[in-house]
Structure 1
Amino acid sequence: MKPLNEVIAACPPSGIRRFFDIAAEMDDVISLGVGEPDFVTPWRIREAGIYALEHGYTTYTSNAGLPRLRELICADLAERYDARYSPATECLITTGVSEGLDLALRVLLNPGDEVIIPEPCYVAYEPCVAFAGGVPVRVPTSWEDGFAISAEVVAAAITPRTKAVLIGSPANPTGAVQPREALEALVRLAQEHDLYLISDEIYDRLTYTGAHTCLGALPGARERTVLLGGFSKAQAMTGWRVGWICAPEAVAELCVRVHQYTMLCAPHISQLAAVEALSAAEDDVTEMVADYDRRRRVFVKGLREIGLECPEPGGAFYAFPSIRSSGLDSETFAERLLKEQSVAVVPGSVFGPSGEGHIRCSYATALPLLEEALERMGRFLRSL
């Protein structure tokens, strides 16, 4: 048989999924590994989906998505962050942020173009760059600096092949929220070297210690920035698969072109549910964010009390404690914690070299389970 695609064949399976597969075969496991809200989608959003199904909204929409949804997304960005995009020509509804990332990379990159990715980072970033024909280039961040992106470190990685910088803020896996000054420095660097910026802002509403900075709203950023967002996290709509891209018209137009041939459109019912989410579910989002914040404070305090240093996560729903005091590498720590105490976490090494010495713990689970997980983790540490 002729060989299959070499780039895809060389891509390793997700390091997160391996631990989920082990945990699925065990009893009484507390999972702190899933990056998914434990809330059910708020009722008013589900009801909108039910109404749409009952009334036969089961057809395709336009390739770019429902005009009303695009209008609401652009109005929300303008009101919340003063980031201004045309719903008609600069906004596209995608099948989740994952598709949005894929579209952006395919449109921006030519074969061999380099994309700088500060790490630790979401596990899909590097494979998606490679799948689009690009070359991912890692640059480190450190927990001592709050995982802030250094423009100087990024600058040192720029070559004549560099095309873009890909970031996520608030970040998965660290929970770091990039300081405005760090993003402003990154924009200046992008202007100097004529680079695109791809900003994954799916966790923008989940911030606790300071305001979120929308990259597309910064001076000089708009014409070179592709914003990615969606409804999975703050609105607890992971399974509905609705995301969006906002970008300059030339970029958005080509994203729609790829989208119309590969996905055609995001699900009609899901788009109508997203309209309801933006129109009427703000109180639900506020309540869920407040609950995450309570869990965050309890969980981080608990981690520190059992002897794990933990930077305060400013956003998302992840804690990224250091496990260096255990004497174990992150993969061994996660494997033994799962087998000996039935607590599933993700080794930091799967998110890049800077993640070694850490584990990712999602606190998007019920508070009693978080407290039980802390007890088990404490027992594990005492046994070492």
Structure 2
Amino acid sequence: MPVLSQRSQAFQPQPMFEILAAAQDLEAQGHPVLHLEIGDTKGFTNPHIVSTLQELSQNPSLGYIASGGMPEIRGAFARQYTQEKGVTFGADNVVVAPANALISEYLGVACDPGDAVLLPDPGFPTYFLAARYNGLRIVTYPLDPETGWNPDPAQVERLIAQEPGIRAMIVNSPSNPLGTVMDPERLDALLDIAERNGLHCLFDETYKNLVFAGDLEPLPHRPSTTYLYSLSKDAAAPGLRVGCAVSQDTGLIAKLVDYSSLFFSCGPGLMQQVAATYLSRPDALAFAHEIRTETSSRVALVEKILGDVDGLSYIRPSATFFVFLNISCTGLDSRAFAYELLRERHVCVCPGDSFGQQGEGHVRVTLTGDRQELEEGVRRLADFVRARS
């Protein structure tokens, strides 16, 4: 067979799908598995999305649409961000595509191969995978559990001074995998650092509507910041594959549109019709409130089960639907813990090293599946830890 390119070696799957495949192999052998690894929202059914999909499927849009997204959905996101950020955004400030794809597209547009990008550690795996795919050097800024998983802005300044090749930075709050909200002063400082140093800054706020403890403080908008958002989480609709990037830099948005045109021509029109119709509802964000309420209850359930497990620790999440557990008391690294838990207890969680070096010694538990399965899965995890501590 012909030899594959060297560049193809940079193509790596998201690590949560690797352990999911191992779980599915077990299931194929007749062993039911409790899934706590993927940030899917199958435990939350959005009736408005379902009814809109049913209605529009009677006369669906199945033809090609604009590469940047239907005007209706671009306009809906522009109005949302105009209201939130206090500056005017139009449809030409928005590109619509799966948020996961937009991360790679953004780095490909903002940076040249050989440039460096600043990424949070722990951070969402696609940040690292997309940087490698685009031939970028990765410089990480650590998030410190001693400060509630917050960054040190002064350290970020030093990293930029030490590495003149840094062209872009990704900031994420609320955090996947940590479930925490960055301290507003530190978040504001990071966005300001990017602006002052002439860096492209992608602010991933996918979980902005899923803060269940406290409120997000509004921050000043900065022209260098591009916002990333998705309907996958707070609308419980990952199957729509509708996300957006929003920026005042219309040249950057135009290039992201070109990128989408090259790789997949355009998004599915029916899914964007559903999303635009959903966002036009005056109560579009009401379902996010239901998710927040239920997630807060599930966090309390997890706390109750894990409360008497010696050595197991975590910072209580205030957003998203993840708990990032410190399992170092077991003496296992994160990958060994996850795969042994899967083999022995048939519970699937995501290894913490999937999210960067700072994630070693941790696993991410997702709270979005069936509530009874979550309870049983966390009980099995607790027993597994007790047996090794």
TM-score range, shorter chain: over 0.9
Q: Which residue of 2 aligns with 1:18?
A: 18
How many pairs align? Answer: 378
Closer, same or farther: CA 132–362 of 1 in aligned 2, 3 Å: same
**C-alpha separation in 1, matches of 2:275 and 2:13:** 31
Deviation (angstroms), 1:32: 0.8
**Other structure's SS at 2:326 match:** coil
Of all paired residues, the percent bearing the same amino acid is 27
Q: CA deviation at 1:226?
A: 1.3
1:303 aligns with 2:306: yes
Q: Relative to structure 2, which stretch is displaced further, 57-66 or 247-256?
A: 57-66
Query: Which residue pairs with 1:150 in the alignment?
Result: 152
Counterpart position of 2:252? 251
Contact 1:227 1:245 in 2 (8 A): yes
1:50-69 map, 5 Å: 50-69=54-73
Structure 1 residues 292 and 114, CA gap change in structure 2 (3 angstroms): same
Q: Are the structure 2 counterparts of residues 320 and 77 from structure 1 closer, same or farther at C-alpha, using a change threshold of 3 Å?
A: same
Once residues 332 and 118 of structure 2 are traced to their aligned partners in structure 1, the CA distance between those partners, rounded to angstroms, is 30
Q: Once structures 1 and 2 are overlaid, which stretch shifts more, 153-162 or 298-307?
A: 298-307
Partner residue, 2:76: 72
Q: Work out which of the residue numbers 73, 92, 98 in structure 1 matches 2:100.
A: 98
Indicate how the Cα distance of structure 1 residues 5 and 146 shifts in structure 2: closer, same or farther if over 3 A, else same: farther
Structure 1: 5+ residue stretches without partners: none
Correspondence for 2:378 among 337, 353, 374 = 374
Is 1:343 equivalent to 2:347 in the alignment? Answer: yes
Q: What secondary structure, in the 3-state scheme, does the structure 1 residue paired with 2:233 have?
A: coil
Q: Deviations over 1:215-238 (max 9, x none)?
A: xx524x2x1111111111111111
* Structure 2: runs of 5+ lacking an equivalent: none
1:5-24, CA deviations, whole angstroms, 9 ceiling, x for partnerless residues?
A: 32331455443223212211
- TM superposition shift of 1:3: 4.7
Amino acid at match of 2:273: L
Q: Distance in 2 between matches of 1:91 and 1:334?
A: 39
TM-score where L is the length of structure 2: 0.91
Greater CA deviation, 237-246 or 54-63? 54-63
- TM-score norm. by structure 1 comes to 0.92
State the partner residue of 1:294: 297
> What residue in structure 2 maps to residue 225 of structure 1?
225
Amino acid at match of 1:367: R
Greater displacement, 371-380 / 298-307: 298-307
Residue 276 of structure 1 and its aligned partner are, at CA, apart by 2.6
Provide, for residues 271-326 of structure 1, a one-character-per-residue CA deviation record: whole Å limited to 9, x for no partner.
Answer: 11111321233332321221112112221343233232110112111100111222
Alpha-carbon distance, 1:29 to partner:
1.5
What is the Cα deviation at residue 72 of structure 1? 1.8
Q: Is 1:139 aligned with 2:141? A: yes
Counterpart in 1 of 2:125? 123
Q: Secondary structure at the match of 1:89?
A: helix
Aligned to 2:240: 240
Structure 1 pair 269/354, CA: closer, same or farther in 2 (3 Å)? same
Native 8 Å contact 1:85 1:246 kept in 2 = no
Seen in structure 2, the aligned counterparts of structure 1 residues 264 and 41 have a Cα distance that, compared at 3 Å, is farther
